[in-house]
Amino acid sequence: MYLELQHLSKNFEGKTVVKDLSLSLAEGELLCILGSSGCGKTTTLNMIGGFLRPSSGKILLDGQDITAMPPERRPVTTVFQSYGLFPHMTVLQNVMYGLKFQKMKRTQAREKAMHYLELVNLSEYANAGIYEISGGQQQRVALARALVVEPRLCLLDEPFCNLDAALRVKMREGLKEIQRKLNMTMVFVTHDQEEALNLADKIAIMEQGVLTQYDSPMNIYRRPANDFVREFLNLDELVWSDEGALLKVIKK
């Protein structure tokens, strides 16, 4: 497997926030970590990204143990809720930023950054300031900046939570299209059940730091592991393709 979490735990001041979490993800798959606030999903993401050191356990990426590796040395990028864009830079400069650490020539970096702006349909805004574009466009800039360095793993911490419902649907459709086009391995944290079911190849449902179920969206919908999963999902009727893709949600 490409990404492996082996018996991962995290304690804060004697409190266990993530407990003995193990899962594996194939290359090119999108994992959604799903759960309510305080369940440990963002803590898990931060351990994968290197921003928190696990109390115990291992993180393997493509067979390499990255558990003790600092975040700047990991072949991993993260898109945060706040996007983290530089307001004094243009859209293009923001996307180019990470490439300077790869010692890429400016002309080549500009060309590559423009390619990724085209990928997220923002090439016409290359010279715009960050505050001259909308929240949804800022989110796409943050995604392009994360992907342009060609990470082996991309982490996303509820990146659509500040967007309205219609734009969230549009953005997750765009993200899935890009993820498939690039065959990018992604871990996406969300508390939104519908978002997880639409995006994920695999879903990890967490409750109070414990992984309660890990499976494909269709299997979780059809065979919830316990009462907690069944009640947490509280699903409307879902229509699936023969290949296991979610086609539509029928509201009750």
Confidence of residue 167 (pLDDT cuts 50, 70, 90): confident
Question: How far apart are the C-alpha atoms of 5 and 15, rounded to whole Å?
Answer: 20
pLDDT at 243 over 80: no
**Residues whose CB is less than 8 angstroms from the CB of residue 193 and which lie 6 or more positions away in sequence, other chains included:** 34, 232, 233, 234, 235
Whole domain around residue 114: which residue ranges?
Answer: 84-150
Residue 144 lies in a domain: yes
Average pLDDT of every residue of the chain: 89
What does pTM read for this prediction? 0.88
Question: How far apart are the C-alpha atoms of 159 and 162, rounded to whole Å?
Answer: 8
Residues 47 and 6 in one domain: yes
Confidence of residue 50 (pLDDT cuts 50, 70, 90): very high
pLDDT at 244 over 70: no
Q: Is 187 helix (H, G, I), strand (E, B) or coil?
A: strand
pLDDT at 206 over 60: yes
pLDDT at 240 over 70: no
Confidence of residue 248 (pLDDT cuts 50, 70, 90): low
Question: How far apart are the C-alpha atoms of 193 and 246, rounded to whole Å?
Answer: 12
CATH number at residue 22: 3.40.50.300
Q: Number of folded domains in the chain?
A: 2
Residues 193 and 180 in one domain: yes
**Token duo for residue 88:** 């004094």
Q: What is the model's pLDDT at position 236? A: 64
Least confident span in 14-23, 46-55, 206-215, 228-237:
228-237
Q: What is the model's pLDDT at position 102? A: 82
pLDDT at 100 over 90: no
Residue 248 lies in a domain: no
Q: What is the model's pLDDT at position 234? A: 73
Confidence of residue 242 (pLDDT cuts 50, 70, 90): low
Residue 225 lies in a domain: no
Residues 71 and 116 in one domain: no
Residues 97 and 130 in one domain: yes
Q: What is the model's pLDDT at position 245? A: 67
Residue 54 lies in a domain: yes
